[in-house]
């Protein structure tokens, strides 16, 4: 059985179909890992979400910041939903919207496969988190998302404070800090404080901030980590990290990484879509 991790889709349905064809995906034998951000900007978010949902039996999907944004918008009034970009409005107005949204809400924030020897998260991990600790933090958010009070979390999820994780945090602030680390982080300092304003390639950040996987004194992790979110970083393999957001929605490439002792990269080119909607992260 082959396992392929696939980078940020962001509503790029046609490239996803082309990539599945290229790797000759066979659901009777293969499995897929989607590293989050299924929706937004690409113009085909509804089709993309439907396809990934249809593959649920053969795949694992972790939540990205754009997926969480869609979940949040889905809890608002119709008038507020109408302010969303056209790509997301198509999802929210679809006949199967409730099914898709409920399925998305029950996706994990992190996935760990000890047997395969890989972990997956959308953006990153706090420099002081081991895989075991990160799993526990992810489970806290997952329980809240799947619980009866998830709408309250959706209302208060957004914000840049607290900027760093602390085990002393409680309530929504604690959950927000975990979400920010796992779905929004690119750079942070040695205390784990996120540099939210720095989104370009390494070397463009303020002094004292580092790519989250290069922080001096960071914990050595038990497993390599597959992630996405950082299109400006591009394909990166090193330091126990496999970063596979290669800017599909921006006219770059969509990447699949065959996981194993010697990971193998597969890519398809993506034309920048005329209907692409900018916004968010």
Q: Does residue 181 have a cis bond before it (omega within 30 degrees)?
A: no
Which helix (H) or strand (E) covers residue 141, if one does? Answer: helix 131-146
pLDDT of residue 219: 87
pLDDT of residue 175: 97
DSSP-derived 3-state class of residue 118: strand
Residue 201: CB atoms within 10 A of its CB come to: 14
pLDDT of residue 272: 58
DSSP-derived 3-state class of residue 204: coil
**Strands 110-113 and 264-269, how do they pair?**
unpaired
pTM of the model: 0.95
> Which tens digit of pLDDT belongs to each residue from 212-252?
999 999 988 999 999 999 999 999 999 999 999 999 999 99
Query: Half-sphere exposure of 277 toward its Cβ, with a 13 Å CA cutoff?
Result: 19
Q: What is the mean pLDDT of each run of 10 residues along the chain (281 residues)?
A: 97 97 97 98 96 98 98 96 95 97 98 98 96 97 95 94 95 97 97 96 96 94 97 96 97 97 96 52 65
The residues with which 253 forms a beta bridge, in sequence order, are 269
Burial of 120 from C-beta contacts in 10 A (0-12 / 13-18 / 19+) = buried
Domains of the chain: 3-269 (3.60.21.10)
pLDDT of residue 273: 53
Burial of 104 from C-beta contacts in 10 A (0-12 / 13-18 / 19+) = buried
């Amino acid at each position: 059985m082959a396992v392929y991790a696939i980078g940020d889709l962001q509503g790029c349905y046609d490239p996803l179909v082309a990539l599945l064809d290229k790797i000759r995906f066979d659901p009777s034998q293969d499995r897929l890992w989607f590293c989050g951000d299924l929706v937004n900007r690409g113009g085909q978010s509804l089709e993309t979400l439907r396809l990934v949902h249809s593959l649920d039996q053969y795949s694992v999907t972790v939540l990205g910041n754009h997926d969480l944004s869609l979940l949040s918008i889905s809890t608002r009034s119709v008038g507020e939903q109408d302010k969303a970009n056209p790509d997301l409005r198509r999802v929210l107005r679809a006949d199967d919207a409730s099914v898709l949204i409920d399925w998305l809400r029950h996706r994990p924030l992190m996935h760990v496969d000890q047997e395969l020897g890989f972990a997956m998260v959308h953006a990153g991990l706090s420099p002081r988190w081991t895989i075991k600790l990160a799993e526990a933090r992810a489970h806290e958010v997952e329980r809240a998302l799947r619980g009866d009070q998830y709408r309250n979390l959706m209302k208060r999820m957004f914000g840049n404070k607290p900027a760093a994780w602390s085990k002393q945090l409680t309530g929504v602030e604690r959950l927000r800090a975990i979400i920010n680390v796992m779905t929004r982080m690119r750079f942070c300092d040695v205390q784990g404080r996120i540099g939210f304003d720095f989104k370009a390639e390494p070397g463009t950040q303020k002094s004292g901030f580092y790519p989250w996987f290069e922080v001096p004194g960071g914990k050595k992790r038990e497993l390599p980590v597959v992630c996405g979110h950082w299109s400006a970083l591009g394909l990166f393999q090193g330091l126990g990290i496999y970063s596979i957001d290669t800017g599909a929605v921006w006219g770059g490439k969509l990447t699949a990484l065959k996981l194993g002792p010697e990971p193998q990269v597969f890519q398809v080119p993506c034309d920048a879509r005329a209907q692409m909607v900018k916004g968010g992260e």
